[in-house]
Homo-oligomer: A and B are copies of this chain.
Amino acid sequence: MTLTLLEEQIKKIAAPDPVWSAAAREHLNNLTKPIGSLGRLESVAEQLSVIFKGDLPDKLSKAAYVFAADHGVVAEGVSLYPAEVTAQMVRNFSEGGAAINVLCRKHACALTVADIGVNADLSTLASVQHCKVRMGSRNFAHEAAMTEEELAAALQVGIELAGEAHRAGKNLIAVGEMGIGNTTSASAIAAMLTANSINAVTGSGTGLDESARKRKAAVIENALQLHFGEDRSAAAMEVLRCVGGLEIAAMTGFYLACAAHGIALICDGFISTAAAAVAVAIAPDLSAYLFAGHCSQEPGHRYLLAWMGLEPILQLQMRLGEGSGAVLAMPVIDSAAVIYREMATFASAGVSEAQ
């Protein structure tokens, strides 16, 4: 059922048309500046032009979606913070005190926080979307993180939230997450998709020391052995089910359905990007709709970005998640759009071109 729903989204993702790219470059080259001198702003404007089929909206309507869930694998001692922090941080989001709240207020970005699988009753929190699939994913050191049904339910939540965002007119969305333990899932996914070593893609998360980081890598090593043996060619969806997490699955569905709706997407840090990579593995055209907000300090992040061919907009040595780096990239994307729409041309301004 849901897999049919998912197939529908994938089919609806329009392939990028190079005609919009060429038209955008021609327009950019006529603006009153040396050719190419606005660097990344120009490539961002070009990509926006492709996403919006040559018709850049007057105003980008911005939103951030933060997907929260707990992770059974935390029982293996892979995180510096106790699992309770997931629920505590969702409360912090609902009270407006977290980094993502502050950044969204500053940058005129609507914020939606969705509980996909937090291991606590958060039903009294009015400002949270209640989409709980389960009280945390299963411990993937011992069994698949999700059953087929749980995976399908989490994907469906993402698809439904994308539909809401589309109906609300959002056209630029940052995708963030909160989930103690979720860098462990992201590392496992990165190792499987990018074929880099587990050691290379496993970082210190919220601040593990080197021996704890090595233990975390060993947990991942054993889990990949358990689920896939020596085989690193498992389908992305099965990787997601076995070693992902509920919020990661919901983000995967969200990315796919947003792209189907023609929405420009910004992935954030390592976990948000791992979900994007699963989505791109399933539907390669999705990458045309995707901006990499920043390059985080988690070492696996750059491998995922390189694997998708994405160049991060910002490099600010951040490693917080929550969508923070993606929202921080919004002013650059917004700037690219207004440059494209509002700058004078050489002809209109009476400025001489290069000799």
Contact = CB atoms under 8 A, between A and B. Distances in A.
A355 interface: yes
A8 interface: no
Interface in A286-325: 297, 313-320, 324
B335 A103 contact: yes
Contact of A102 (B81, B206, B343): B343
A355 B39 contact: no
A349 interface: yes
15 contacts: A33-B98, A34-B81, A35-B207, A36-B207, A81-B353, A81-B355, A88-B349, A88-B352, A91-B350, A98-B344, A102-B342, A103-B335, A103-B339, A106-B335, A107-B331
Q: What 9 A-B pairs come out closest when comparing CB atoms? A: A97-B344, A39-B317, A331-B331, A40-B316, A34-B206, A39-B318, A37-B320, A88-B351, A92-B349
A125 interface: no
A97 B332 contact: no
A283 interface: no
A282 interface: no
A189 to B, nearest CB: 21
Contacts of A314: 314, 332
Interface string A25-61: 0000001111111111100000000000000000000
Contacts of A91: 349-350
A142 interface: no
A338 B33 contact: no
Given A99-B343, A106-B334, 17 more contacts: A31-B99, A32-B89, A34-B320, A38-B324, A39-B297, A39-B316, A80-B354, A80-B355, A88-B351, A88-B352, A97-B343, A97-B349, A102-B338, A106-B338, A207-B354, A314-B332, A315-B315
Contact of A38 (B35, B320, B355): B320
Nearest to A318: B39
Nearest to A321: B37
Nearest to A88: B351
A338 B33 CA distance: 33
Given A92-B351, A352-B81, A37 B318 contact: yes
Given A84-B352, A339-B103, A344 B32 contact: no
Contact of A332 (B89, B316, B319, B338): B316
A97 B348 contact: yes
A39 B352 CA distance: 43
A346 to B, nearest CB: 9
A105 B320 CA distance: 30
A82 interface: yes
A328 interface: yes
Contacts of A320: 33-34, 37-38
A355 B208 CA distance: 10
A95 interface: yes
Contacts of A36: 207
A344 B98 CA distance: 6
A85 interface: yes
Interface string A84-121: 11001101100101110111011100000000000000
A218 B60 CA distance: 48
A325 to B, nearest CB: 9
A344 B315 CA distance: 25
